[in-house]
Structure 1
Amino acid sequence: MKKNLLPIEAVAAKLNLTDDLYERRTPVSAKLSLELLKQSPRGDRRGKLILVTATSPTASGEGKTVTSIGLVQGLEKIGRTAIITSREPSLGPVFGMKGGAAGGGSSQIEPAEKINLHFHGDFHAITSAHSLLSALIDSHLFHGNELDLDPDAVTWPRAVDMNDRALRNIVVSVTAPDKRQRDGSNRAASFLITAASEIMAILSLASGRDDLRRRIARIVIGQNRKGEPVTAADLRATGPMLALLSEAILPNLAQTTEGTPAMVHCGPFANIAHGTSSVISHEIGLRLADYVVNETGFASDLGFEKYMDLVMPTSGIKPSVAVLVTTVQSLRNQGEGDLERGFAHLEKHIAIVRGFHLPVVVAINRFPNDTFAELETLHQFCEDHGASFALSEAFAKGGEGAVDLANKIVEVIDANPDVEPTTTYAPGDSAIDKITKVARSVYGADGIELSEGARQNLARFERWGFGHLPVCIAKTQYSLSDDPKRMGAPTGWTLHVTDVALSAGAGFLVVIAGSMMLMPGLPKVSRALDIDVDEDGEIIGMS
């Protein structure tokens, strides 16, 4: 553990938190009380929400988390009360290809190693609640199937917080000890990674414990043999699942490398889920600070779009500005080796943000190998397109390296006091219209095409009364299209919808586009091989 971290009491003092509003878990971290949803140490003052998004990343990422952390440190350096709301990392990327997700260099959320591994047990609680529901389903089938569940129509998978391709397709056996076949014996099933669990989405969207209870109760786990939906409430699973999540719903208070307050809570992926930290942490943050920096997952076509079309209508929390992180290497990659050819990709992401009637500031995350000429070319492009921009050197210089960005953000917010963000589609639009509008307005597609299976599933969900729900489109993060190898700002293509799933508890339809894996696999050489523990018990090799 880092020796220069502030005691958590000192971090809490920056937010005027009294002892009864947080519970110390380690010397440098705590859980926040939900009483903060009812009262505010700063009265009725509400802060400004800053959404951080990016252009499409390379496999190693473009430093969006580092930039977000640097920004909140930069805001504190210019005398503003600020807090970052960040997602909790999944063990999948930590041990997979991408590595830890707590930032890096001089801009990390600390204690980084603990945050990357089992932080306060939240992911374990979510996995356990998900697994309990899985176990109750098979137990119900084994003990007589009173609800007449159709074993072939059970849609609730299992979950584990690790990349493990061997678990993508499994067979569940519920054979009795005397070898008699039970309802559901040897049925096909699957695992998904915990970040893709509906429980993760539910926890991050819930406004409090009562809302969490309602959402868990309405989870649809499959259908009976009459074709009617069966819910978690039908299995009497709501109470025990809520018990497992009772502590996990509390946001975690931590700090950045420079002692700036940080909330770390929930961790849905943005390519296969909605990709942002919890609504509760956003709401509490806006009651505690002048500015709340919230990172949305991957690029503006993914986490950002889902915040605007899913999270904002659900929570009522409207952002004041968006930060669009980009890098020379990202744009060169999108230009297939040519930086200036990649500018069309940046232009499209700027247009996506502006399409929601939100001001945008381009944050150019500087890498050591970036040349002066490359950065100047990028600066000139932003000027020519009327986009506010600032260079960020948060990795190397911490908050000091993000002061220009912080000043630019404050300037843009002050110049746009009456922002009224919009959504891509109206609540009353049909599901097909919602998917089509996102595909055309955000991704740049000509239209959509649904597989026969996707059409059948959608028709069933509409028959059950869920056709009005917003859509959460699961697609690749590496391209604006549904093809990870299609670079730039492609046009003249069709979004291929291969499946539609129902997340009734979370409150959206999951629309799967292209080839999407809900359970990733480890690469040939994984980051796990670099992680160890030194002789003092300190975890090494994670950043």
Structure 2
Amino acid sequence: MTTRTDLEIARAARKLPIQDIGATLGIPAEALLPYGHDKAKIGQGFIRQLGDRPDGKLILVTAINPTPAGEGKTTTTVGLGDALARIGKRTAICIREASLGPNFGMKGGAAGGGMAQVVPMEDMNLHFTGDFHAITAAHNLLAAMIDNHIYWGNTLEIDERRIVWRRVMDMNDRALRDTVVGLGGVSNGFPRQTGFDITVASEVMAILCLAEDLDDLQVRLGRIVVAYTRDKQPIHARDLKAEGAMAVLLRDAMQPNLVQSMEQTPAFVHGGPFANIAHGCNSVIATRTALKLAEYVVTEAGFGADLGAEKFFDIKCRKAGLSPSAAVVVATVRALKMNGNVDRADLGAENVAAVQRGCVNLGRHIENLRGFGVPVIVAINHFHSDSAAEVQAVQGYAASLGAEAVVCRHWALGSVGAEELAQKVVALAEGETARFAPLYPDEIGLFAKIETVARRIYRAGSVVADKVVLDQLAAWEAAGYGGLPVCMAKTPYSFSTDPTLRGAPEGHVVPVREVRLSAGAGFVVAICGEIMTMPGLPRHPAAETIGLDAEGQVEGLF
């Protein structure tokens, strides 16, 4: 077992030139736009030529509800991708890009870990190819055009009290959650209260990740609702003539990024929408491109399966016409113990009874995923402290539900540690048992969609909402938005809206306190509980230990 840091491991990886990585998927060198030697963007012209090719098998990697003990969803995604390539399948990995905020805050990076990482790790976790900066710029251009329009006479009659488009930056900064702009006199505009969100929470990010091509991107940008008039009529980005310039800023960002794993498996790393108020998946264009080029595509969705997988199926797959062949649920013995009410400090001690109690969380996710018509397998992401009896308890529980649970050691061993999982996934995917269908039809009402997710996925007893919420949903239905899917925003730590309620609670109440229209992205957000769209830094942020060594190399990333 290695004692090196993830960054040290990644830096020691043997990387192939990015043209060689592209060639393994049949991408010609002229279709790549290199960013150095080890990363590149894939040209839109080449992508357009792939339309008639058959799709490969799409494998979703999801997880039980996250705990401080860790689950390793991205690490398992990379490990499985490498293992599929190891057993001879032409494979591509599809994951999200990392946000600077969590990197310098508490969560860390998003490139996997140990011997199952995507590289170059430090580039991916920092500026990468500039996509997030482009999204930040496009978002804030629209914000500036709103205030500029008001300054020069406000011919659209925007009600300054009803401007819903805030500004964004890709950093955790609690001081910017609520701000006042326009101070300093007449030349600086009209003072008003607003605030900042983190870039991954921007609707522009969600739009880029759901758009089919540049034309679709610009149309979606134009549909963004930025404000309302005094008589509550919506003002769109297209009313400000902003969508063309925004699309220009996003032209290069719209092209998927190609990198590689430590074992030279091609990896598409593109986009990174918030997994709460957005759908938490990498871009549609990256996933579709990968499916045209590979036999197997392994992707992931943010948070646990109750949020990430549900949105992957009901939003991304529904809108993009994707049909997954299998789903992998990642669990750790440590996390299952926490779901069995063991304190974090006591996770190292063997506790089979706690594992058995915590398995109900795993079981709920297995049942939910099968409800989408997708076959399921469990990946036990192995920790050195796991006892044989604890592992057997998980495997026995999964078997009681008719599912296999495979022990995976990809963090320590790389692809060889996930080879059994890869074999089992191939057997599932090629058994043609998948009969994928979204949870609800487009035609039912918006509140009925919210209730369907709450009752069938969260096992809620009821959903409650004030009249103002119900009236807003009815108004959107009347305006033609009733066919949109819903994007549930709640705590990721529980099936309920109470983050302390672990396991598999039933009969709880889901309160919908607010709804938001993401008209450009194409979904309605139902906010259940307190949702933070601009995180703060912890008492001791990771930034305190990140720096450059004597040779000018990055150190301290994790």
TM-score higher than 0.5: yes
Q: Is the aligned partner of 1:61 residue 2:70?
A: yes
Q: Is the aligned partner of 1:379 residue 2:395?
A: yes
Question: 2:466 is matched with which residue?
Answer: 451
Query: Is residue 389–residue 408 contact of structure 1 (8 Å, CA) maintained in 2?
Result: no
Aligned-partner Cα distance in 2 for 1:112–1:457: 44
Query: What is the Cα deviation at residue 420 of structure 1?
Result: 2.1
Question: 1:261 is matched with which residue?
Answer: 266
Question: 2:303 is matched with which residue?
Answer: 298
Aligned-partner Cα distance in 2 for 1:285–1:344: 35
- For residues 424-464 of structure 1, the C-alpha deviation after alignment (integer angstroms, 9 at most, x for no partner) is 11101101100000000011101211135433433443343
Query: What is the Cα deviation at residue 382 of structure 1?
Result: 1.3
**Secondary structure of 2:40 counterpart:** strand
Distance 1:494 1:326, change over 3 A: same
Q: Indicate the larger mover: 199-208 or 89-98.
A: 89-98
Question: 1:111 is matched with which residue?
Answer: 120
Question: 1:406 is matched with which residue?
Answer: 422
Query: Is residue 39–residue 259 contact of structure 2 (8 Å, CA) maintained in 1?
Result: yes
Question: 1:90 is matched with which residue?
Answer: 99
Question: 2:345 is matched with which residue?
Answer: none
Aligned-partner Cα distance in 1 for 2:459–2:46: 41
Of the three residues 411, 432, 449, the one matched with 1:395 is: 411
Q: Residue type matched to 1:129 in 2?
A: A
Q: Please, which runs of 5 or more residues in structure 1 have no aligned partner? A: none
Q: Indicate the larger mover: 462-471 or 45-54.
A: 462-471
Q: Is the aligned partner of 1:493 residue 2:508?
A: yes
**Secondary structure of 1:99 counterpart:** coil
Aligned-partner Cα distance in 1 for 2:245–2:264: 37
Aligned-partner Cα distance in 2 for 1:498–1:190: 20
Question: 2:326 is matched with which residue?
Answer: 321
- How large is the RMSD of aligned CA atoms in angstroms? 1.6
Aligned-partner Cα distance in 2 for 1:467–1:167: 34
Q: Indicate the larger mover: 245-254 or 88-97.
A: 88-97
Aligned-partner Cα distance in 1 for 2:312–2:394: 27
Query: Is residue 497–residue 514 contact of structure 1 (8 Å, CA) maintained in 2?
Result: yes
Query: What is the Cα deviation at residue 106 of structure 1?
Result: 0.4
Q: Indicate the larger mover: 102-111 or 220-229.
A: 220-229
Of the three residues 23, 31, 36, the one matched with 2:33 is: 23
Question: 1:172 is matched with which residue?
Answer: 181
**Secondary structure of 2:297 counterpart:** strand
Aligned-partner Cα distance in 2 for 1:68–1:293: 6
Give the TM-score normalised by structure 1.
0.96
Query: Is residue 38–residue 120 contact of structure 2 (8 Å, CA) maintained in 1?
Result: yes
Q: Is the aligned partner of 1:513 residue 2:528?
A: yes
The 5-angstrom pairing of residues 90-489 of structure 1 reads: 90-173=99-182, 176-177=185-186, 185-337=190-342, 338-415=354-431, 417=432, 419-489=434-504
Query: What is the Cα deviation at residue 346 of structure 1?
Result: 0.8
Aligned-partner Cα distance in 1 for 2:469–2:124: 38
Aligned-partner Cα distance in 2 for 1:113–1:289: 26
Query: What is the Cα deviation at residue 175 of structure 1?
Result: 5.9
Q: Indicate the larger mover: 170-179 or 59-68.
A: 170-179
Give the TM-score normalised by structure 2.
0.94
Question: 1:73 is matched with which residue?
Answer: 82
- For residues 194-229 of structure 1, the C-alpha deviation after alignment (integer angstroms, 9 at most, x for no partner) is 111100000000000010011001111011122211
Query: Is residue 198–residue 506 contact of structure 1 (8 Å, CA) maintained in 2?
Result: yes
Identity over aligned pairs, percent:
45
Distance 1:60 1:187, change over 3 A: farther
The 5-angstrom pairing of residues 512-531 of structure 1 reads: 512-531=527-546
Q: Residue type matched to 1:10 in 2?
A: D
Query: What is the Cα deviation at residue 393 of structure 1?
Result: 0.8
Query: What is the Cα deviation at residue 165 of structure 1?
Result: 1.3
Distance 1:518 1:452, change over 3 A: farther
Q: Please, which runs of 5 or more residues in structure 2 have no aligned partner? A: 1-10, 343-353
Distance 1:178 1:359, change over 3 A: closer
Query: What is the Cα deviation at residue 176 of structure 1?
Result: 4.4
Query: What is the Cα deviation at residue 541 of structure 1?
Result: 1.3
Query: What is the Cα deviation at residue 418 of structure 1?
Result: 5.2
Aligned-partner Cα distance in 2 for 1:457–1:265: 33
- For residues 464-495 of structure 1, the C-alpha deviation after alignment (integer angstroms, 9 at most, x for no partner) is 33233211011111111111111110012111
Question: 2:48 is matched with which residue?
Answer: 38
Aligned-partner Cα distance in 2 for 1:164–1:439: 32
**Secondary structure of 2:477 counterpart:** helix
Query: Is residue 470–residue 508 contact of structure 1 (8 Å, CA) maintained in 2?
Result: yes
Query: Is residue 355–residue 393 contact of structure 2 (8 Å, CA) maintained in 1?
Result: no
Distance 1:126 1:479, change over 3 A: same
Aligned-partner Cα distance in 2 for 1:500–1:452: 12
Query: Is residue 59–residue 98 contact of structure 1 (8 Å, CA) maintained in 2?
Result: no
Query: Is residue 328–residue 370 contact of structure 1 (8 Å, CA) maintained in 2?
Result: yes
